[in-house]
Amino acid sequence: MSVIQVQRKPLSLAERTYIPQILSGMKTTMKHIVAKPVTVNYPEERPEIPPGYRGVPTLVRDPHGREKCVSCQLCEFVCPPKAIRITPGEIPADSPNAHVEKGPREFEINMLRCIYCGLCQEVCPEEAIWLQNVYSSSGYTRAEMVNNKQKLYELGGTLPDTHLKWDKKKAAAEKH
Amino acid sequence: MIDFYFSLPDIVRYIIQGIAVICFLFPVGAACSMAERKVAAWAQDRPGPNRARPWLLARIPIIGPILGYFGIFNLMADGGKLLFREDITPGHVNKFYFVMAPIVAMTPALSTIVFVPFGAYLDSAGQILPVMLANVDIGILGVFALASLSVYSLILAGWASNSKYPFLGAIRASAQLISYELSMTLAVVPVLLWINAPGTTGSLSLVRVVEFQSQPGFWGGMWFVFIMPVSAFIFLITIFAETNRQPFDMPESEADLVGGYHTEYGSYKWSLFFVAEYCQMIVGSGIFILLFLGGWNPLPWIPLADLVNWLHDLLHWQWLMHPIFVGLLSIGIFVTKVLIFIFIFMWVRWTLPRFRYDQVMRIGWQRLLPLSIANLVVYIIAIALLQK
Amino acid sequence: MSAPTATAATPDLVTVNIDGRDIAVPRGTNVVEAARLLGVNVPHYCYHPKLPVVGNCRMCLVEMGVPAVDRETRQPVIDPATGKQKINWMPKLQIGCGTNATPGLHIRTTTPAVRQARESVTEFLLVNHPLDCPICDQAGECDLQEQAIAYGRGCSRYIEDKNVKPKHTQLGPRVMLDDERCILCSRCIRFTKEIAKDDVLGFIDRGSHSTLTCYPGKQLSNNYSLNTVDICPVGALTSTDFRFKMRVWFLKQTNSIDTESSVGANTVVWSREGQIYRITPRRNDEVNDTWMPDSGRLLYKQVRAENRLTTETPLADLIAQAKSLLTGAAAPGSSGMGDSPMGSGGMADPAMRTGAAAPSTDESSVPHNPHGRVARATQSIALVASARSTMAEQYLCKKIADQLGIPVGAIHVPAHLGQGDGLLVSADRTPNTRGALLCGLATGLPKPQLTQLAADIDAGKIKTLLVINEDLAEAGITPEQLAKVSIIYLGTHANATSAAAKVVIPTQTVFEKDSSFVNQQFRLQRSKAAIPGHPGTHNDLVVLSHILVNLGGHDFAGSPIAAWSRLSEETPELAGLDYLTIPETGRVLDSTRFAHLAFPETEGLHYKPAAERQEESGARMQESEARP
């Protein structure tokens, strides 16, 4: 028996006049009229962004200013709308980070394509790409909406890092 | 200055008074549209329109931000927009009636105010004299006569638009108006019976109704809403229906009729319909207040004269008894009541959903009409017994 | 693929049982290959089917057992429980790569012991392996990565410091070594020693400090060095050219052919979004095993080379210009072609050059018979076709020559010869000399120098040249001679001939078109288009079929399938073949018609010159006669 027959209860006299319902409805409306608005005056007031918010994807540096991305292109691979485009490159031998060997020569995220799913952050083995609290991006041209490497680092800034894997690696090589 | 005013010929005075009233009524009608948007916003937990900030006016300290907050600048921008927008007249309409319809809408809306006493002052003898444009005996009858003309504008608009949705809207409007006109009139009759004791000179004047609610004593000072709650209730509902307000706005009914009778209208002509609706609401609320809520009397059992005397005794300021002050005070009290009433209109609008059309008809004919007839019969018997 | 090497008549098969299933494999097959035939994967690092077995990675450990035999009676011991012969399981695991199939051999690859062995090997390998996967080019095609997912622990028990080894050592001009990643499988050492015969690699030090290195003063610089990168199971050896360019999982693989010589090594072209990133060998046991020369891996650079010819002129205009040159030359009494305002060669852009050539031709004066042959009159046209063209293109060239009435003597196919390296680069440096012979374009062996053509030009017999992707300057035509003739050039890259040409129609490389070639073994092989055509170039076959149609010939619509349907009808060796059914590993054609020709190729991998082959087959025939 998938269908349950429910007896419709006949309306009482008060219900048939609608008046108690109307009055209780008006009471509810009045409660809202005197309540504080739940919206904010957007550009002047900004909503508080909770931790873990998935805003615009950004690239971050480690506390020592090293760019964390090694251009493994996993984010490019996992990105469902194919918004990420990385041109990998070799880190020059005279760089202090030469031991990392590989880094992005160019890193572009097309914000017209990005769907803010956060898979890039999830897949990143170096914890270099983070969806942070920037939630509004705008531009007058399509080209403006493509965040290049420089813009991504400006947006991302520096995040704390507990691993410092590459620093340890460099220290081990120097000890040797 | 007052002497100069009273020294003017009557016709000039009437014209000045008429223009003054229109100058008040029209902007208030327009402001109601902004009030509606603000009330809607508050009922929906949001701030509502408050972003228009003209660069010079908004800089005025304190006032500027307050005006901005209440959306006054939005209102001005709205008006300007509607005024200067391209006025499109569709090719398939009957041009003459199409243009006439909004004018016909405005005419009764602005002219019914003639019969409405919106204040009073005391002459030197302490006699109450009403502030109104035409203190004629037909009073309420004139209001009803002119107010029912407003449906013509809807019918004209719907017919002249030569398009099915406006036409349906117009048909609905006329049917609805006829259905509720009857109950409305019948609901008012007990009030008029009450004030017209047998043997006295009969009058339909609304001033008389207010005077009856300003008498001393328990029964004398009692507003008619307490004596005739059912009449007040029926009248209230029919005002909603007559002014096409939610939950009775079937003629507009944008869910099924696009824009109802004004679908084909735009810019200034459309805004005239809009303002006319609010003017009707203002007049309708005024009539209700006069009939059932004591008119310009501040509170039940406290008539205007008592308030003025009491204030005078307390403060001993001579100008408290001056007719101009008393007149302004009474107008203030009346307008305040009207504004509260309009707020109730909006409050209801943002609470209730729209009735179905068959429900509108059933309520009108099968509920309100029998109820008002029964009400009338009961009061006829009661008044006959009381006045015997 | 790892097909029986024994003669097909008497296959010497042995039956082994792997995971409870019997399979008959040729004698000499090892357990890893036998399991592969059953679809059972035995993981391994050091084993490679084309390299000697060393068995040092220990990843392919399996359980083995042999049927029990009573020592005294030599009778099979029957297990009373099952009623079958009892299996004596060896107490310890054996390596699959180093064990050949023997009759009745039993293998188990799924037991806990095997799994534990694999997990242990993996854990040991990962002890010192760096966590480089994000930057490692091998990621995505790394054996260790795959086995670590299947048999790894997920987290390391190793808390000591990992070994530190040199991370970027340049082993040779094209090969980079990261010693930390090396798992000491020695595949590269075996390859250089056994296949490339250039023994330069070896291990130094012991235990976990073992390090792969070149012998002092030597370099891994031979023409096969990049094969070590291919066979490296981890990312220790990487290609300098491909290093850090693109992750392999983005690359589309297209089967292709190495066109640098008549070996026709099978390749895979790896491309992404119309750009080729690398070329690797494709296994074909009859042609190139799993190897290919380094030189063939760089061919993709020609696609975006700086001297690539392109044009913005619509193809129809180019064809019209070519046609007016050709028909003008073919018409009787045509004159004035030699003193056209062209030939200065001062303008660099071929499109501009062809554009300027257009007004000099007067089409209205050209008598043209749309449905018949163009009026056969003079022999002032010569065709220089190419042994680098595909079969279909050569066929269409032949058709155009027929249509224009060019005699056989005026069809020239220059040869490109070099030294064969005895492996995968042959002396004939064109991929399709035999194709030209098959379709009748070439009547004899091509010669490197076109002396006959030079003489004809000097004699004024040849006024117009249709050149298909060949640089006449290389073939011994002097610039003065080039200036004497009107040249229509179809080619991919700019050279002296294209500079002197009146009409240049840019065409496409092998990576941009579907093609087919016949290699030195008379093996017909197919290559697929890996990337779309470079902007401003046109498919050769389309251009040729347009020219042919304009000359009144059959319309092949630029389709290799259409061309092939006619070609296979007209060529006895190709009877019954069509373009789409050429197998991935190629089809060997009957070569008896050309047995008399002395091809320049010397012995190479899977190839012996015809003379030696005849000796061999003669010996076999004697053998088979002697047998009964």
Long-range contacts of C124-131 (CB under 8 A, 24+ apart): C125/C45, C125/C183, C126/C152, C126/C156, C126/C158, C127/C156, C127/C158, C127/C162, C127/C208, C128/C162, C128/C163, C128/C180, C128/C208, C129/C180, C129/C181, C129/C183, C129/C234, C130/A169, C130/C162, C130/C180, C130/C181, C131/A165
**pLDDT digits (tens), chain A, 176 positions:** 689 999 998 888 888 878 888 899 999 999 998 888 888 888 888 888 898 899 999 999 988 888 899 999 999 999 999 999 999 999 998 888 888 889 999 999 999 999 999 999 999 999 999 999 888 888 999 999 999 999 999 999 898 888 888 888 888 888 87
- Per-residue pLDDT at C364 exceeds 50: no
Helix (H, G, I), strand (E, B) or coil at B328: helix
Indicate whether C341 belongs to any domain. Answer: no
Q: For the segment C12-49, what is each residue's pLDDT rounded down to a tens digit?
A: 899 999 999 999 999 989 999 999 999 999 999 999 99
Rounded to 10°, the helix B10-43/B267-292 angle is 100
- Please tell me the predicted confidence (pLDDT) of residue B322: 73
Q: For the segment C422-448, what is each residue's pLDDT rounded down to a tens digit?
A: 999 999 999 999 999 998 899 889 999
pTM: 0.75
Helix (H, G, I), strand (E, B) or coil at C64: strand
Cross-strand bridge partners of residue C248: none
- Please tell me the predicted confidence (pLDDT) of residue C118: 95
Mean pLDDT in residue range C346-375: 41
Q: How far is C165 from chain A (nearest CA, A)?
A: 8
Contacts of A25 in chain B (CB under 8 A): 351-352
> Under an 8 A CB cutoff, do C247 and A72 touch?
yes
Contact by Cβ (8 Å): A40, A46: yes
From A169, which residue of chain C is nearest by alpha-carbon distance? C164
Indicate whether C200 belongs to any domain. Answer: no
Mutation target vs C (from A123, A163, A169, A170; most C CBs, 10 A cutoff): A169
**What's the burial of C619, exposed, middle or buried (CB within 10 Å: 0-12/13-18/19+)?**
exposed
**CA geometry: angle B89, B94, B99, nearest 5 deg:** 55
- Burial letters C314-324, b for 16+ CB under 10 A, else e: eeeebbbbbbb
Distance of alpha carbon C347 from alpha carbon C336, whole angstroms = 22
Mean pLDDT in residue range B184-208: 80
Which of B39, B42, B351 minimises the CB distance to A25? B351
Listed range (C124-128, C363-367, C456-460, C556-560) with the worst mean pLDDT: C363-367
> Under an 8 A CB cutoff, do A33 and B39 touch?
yes
Which of A88, A99, A176 minimises the CB distance to C245? A88
Q: For the segment C199-210, what is each residue's pLDDT rounded down to a tens digit?
A: 999 999 998 889
Q: How far is A84 from chain C (nearest CA, A)?
A: 13
- Please tell me the predicted confidence (pLDDT) of residue C347: 38
Indicate whether C179 belongs to any domain. Answer: no
Contacts of B44 in chain A (CB under 8 A): 32
Distance of alpha carbon B174 from alpha carbon B159, whole angstroms = 12
> Does any CB of chain C come closer than 8 Å to the CB of residue A90?
yes
- Per-residue pLDDT at B127 exceeds 90: no
Return the CATH number at C89. 3.10.20.740
Contact by Cβ (8 Å): C272, C203: no
Mean pLDDT in residue range B84-100: 86
Distance of alpha carbon B338 from alpha carbon B289, whole angstroms = 7
> Under an 8 A CB cutoff, do A25 and B352 touch?
yes
Dihedral, C146, C151, C153, C157 alpha carbons, nearest 10:
-100
Cross-strand bridge partners of residue C201: C214
Number of structural domains chain A divides into? 1
Mean pLDDT in residue range C341-347: 37
- Please tell me the predicted confidence (pLDDT) of residue B388: 65
The chains found to touch B (3+ Cβ pairs under 8 angstroms) are A
Report which secondary-structure segment, H or E, holds B130. Answer: strand B128-131
- Per-residue pLDDT at C627 exceeds 80: no
Distance of alpha carbon B301 from alpha carbon B208, whole angstroms = 17
- Per-residue pLDDT at C391 exceeds 90: yes
**What's the burial of A127, exposed, middle or buried (CB within 10 Å: 0-12/13-18/19+)?**
middle
Distance of alpha carbon A159 from alpha carbon C312, whole angstroms = 51
* C-alpha distance from residue C487 to each of C179, C280, C326, C329 (Å): 56, 37, 10, 11
DSSP line for C554-594: ---TT-HHHHHHHHHHH-GGGTT--GGG--TT-EEPP-GGG
- Burial letters C174-199, b for 16+ CB under 10 A, else e: bbbbbbbbbbbbbbbbbbbbebbebe
Which of A22, A33, A39 minimises the CB distance to B43? A33
Indicate whether C448 belongs to any domain. Answer: yes
Cross-strand bridge partners of residue A158: A61
From C166, which residue of chain A is nearest by alpha-carbon distance? A173
- Residue labelled with tokens 């087959």: C617
- Please tell me the predicted confidence (pLDDT) of residue B129: 73
Indicate whether A43 belongs to any domain. Answer: no
Identify which has the larger pLDDT, B250 or B44.
B44
- Per-residue pLDDT at B69 exceeds 90: no
> Does any CB of chain C come closer than 8 Å to the CB of residue A74?
yes
Distance of alpha carbon C385 from alpha carbon C400, whole angstroms = 11
**CA geometry: angle A19, A24, A29, nearest 5 deg:** 120
Residues 6+ apart with CB under 8 A from B337: B285, B289, B293
- Please tell me the predicted confidence (pLDDT) of residue B126: 64
Cross-strand bridge partners of residue C493: C308
> Under an 8 A CB cutoff, do A37 and B50 touch?
no
Cross-strand bridge partners of residue B131: B119
Q: How far is A53 from chain C (nearest CA, A)?
A: 26
Helix (H, G, I), strand (E, B) or coil at C172: coil
* DSSP summary character for residue C511: G
Contact by Cβ (8 Å): C162, C130: yes
Which of C164, C243, C247 minimises the CB distance to A73? C247
Q: How far is A77 from chain C (nearest CA, A)?
A: 7
Most confident among B144-153, B209-218, C405-414 (mean pLDDT): C405-414
Contact by Cβ (8 Å): B136, B115: yes
From A28, which residue of chain B is nearest by alpha-carbon distance? B351
Structure tokens given for B132: 């109104």
Q: For the segment C45-87, what is each residue's pLDDT rounded down to a tens digit?
A: 999 999 999 999 999 999 999 998 888 888 888 888 888 888 9
Which of A72, A77, A175 minimises the CB distance to C135? A72
- In 3D space, the residue among C582, C575, C566 whose CA is nearest the CA of residue C528 turns out to be C582
Domain housing A71: 57-159
> Under an 8 A CB cutoff, do B46 and A29 touch?
no
Listed range (B132-141, B165-174, B284-293, C478-487) with the worst mean pLDDT: B132-141
* C-alpha distance from residue C562 to each of B140, C578, C579 (Å): 97, 9, 9
Return the CATH number at C565. 3.40.50.740
- Per-residue pLDDT at B382 exceeds 60: yes
Q: How far is C131 from chain A (nearest CA, A)?
A: 10
Indicate whether C45 belongs to any domain. Answer: yes
- Please tell me the predicted confidence (pLDDT) of residue C613: 66
- Name the phi and psi angles at B148, rounded to 5: -70, -15
Q: In what order do the strands lie in the sheet with C523-527?
A: C515-518, C523-527, C587-588
Indicate whether A101 belongs to any domain. Answer: yes
Indicate whether A94 belongs to any domain. Answer: yes
Indicate whether C245 belongs to any domain. Answer: no
- Per-residue pLDDT at C605 exceeds 60: yes
Neighbours of B164 (CB within 10 A): 12
Residues 6+ apart with CB under 8 A from C613: none
Domain housing C38: 13-110
Residues 6+ apart with CB under 8 A from A94: none
Structure tokens given for C28: 């000499």
From A34, which residue of chain B is nearest by alpha-carbon distance? B42
Which of A29, A36, A41 minimises the CB distance to B43? A29
How many cross-chain Cβ pairs, A to B, lie less than 8 Å apart? Answer: 37
Residues 6+ apart with CB under 8 A from C429: C260, C261, C262, C416, C417, C418
Indicate whether A68 belongs to any domain. Answer: yes
Residues 6+ apart with CB under 8 A from A5: none
> Under an 8 A CB cutoff, do A41 and B47 touch?
yes
Contacts of B360 in chain A (CB under 8 A): none
Identify which has the larger pLDDT, C522 or B327.
C522
Distance of alpha carbon B294 from alpha carbon B288, whole angstroms = 9
Q: How far is B38 from chain A (nearest CA, A)?
A: 10
Dihedral, C572, C576, C582, C585 alpha carbons, nearest 10:
-70
Mean pLDDT in residue range C506-514: 95
- Residue labelled with tokens 């595949």: C187
Long-range contacts of B40-45 (CB under 8 A, 24+ apart): B40/B346, B40/B349, B40/B350, B41/A37, B42/A32, B42/A33, B42/A34, B42/A37, B43/A29, B43/A32, B43/A33, B43/B347, B43/B350, B43/B351, B44/A32, B44/B350, B45/A32, B45/A35, B45/A36, B45/A37, B45/A38, B45/A39
Q: How far is C242 from chain A (nearest CA, A)?
A: 11
Distance of alpha carbon C436 from alpha carbon C453, whole angstroms = 18
- Residue labelled with tokens 């160019």: A106
Distance of alpha carbon C387 from alpha carbon C409, whole angstroms = 17
**CA geometry: angle C230, C236, C238, nearest 5 deg:** 50
Alpha-helix residue ranges (DSSP H) falling in C157-260: 187-190, 226-231
Number of structural domains chain C divides into? 2
Mean pLDDT in residue range C403-411: 89
Q: How confident is the model at residue C375 (pLDDT cuts 50, 70, 90)?
A: very low
> Under an 8 A CB cutoff, do C164 and A172 touch?
yes
Structure tokens given for B280: 């009707």
Distance of alpha carbon C501 from alpha carbon C354, whole angstroms = 9
- Please tell me the predicted confidence (pLDDT) of residue B80: 85
Structure tokens given for C471: 């640089």
Contact by Cβ (8 Å): C290, C230: yes
Cis peptide, bond prior to residue B247, ω within 30 of zero: yes
Contact by Cβ (8 Å): C53, C30: yes
- Per-residue pLDDT at C133 exceeds 80: yes
Return the CATH number at A128. 3.30.70.3270
Chain C residues bordering chain A (beta-carbon distance below 8 Å): 130-131, 133-135, 139, 161-162, 164, 167-168, 243-247, 249-250
Distance of alpha carbon B345 from alpha carbon B351, whole angstroms = 10
- Per-residue pLDDT at C105 exceeds 90: yes
> Under an 8 A CB cutoff, do A101 and C244 touch?
yes
- Final residue of a structural domain among C90, C110, C130: C110
Identify which has the larger pLDDT, C452 or B195.
C452
- Please tell me the predicted confidence (pLDDT) of residue A1: 65
- Per-residue pLDDT at B303 exceeds 60: yes
Contacts of C161 in chain A (CB under 8 A): 172
Q: How far is A67 from chain C (nearest CA, A)?
A: 14
Indicate whether C580 belongs to any domain. Answer: yes
> Does any CB of chain C come closer than 8 Å to the CB of residue A118?
no
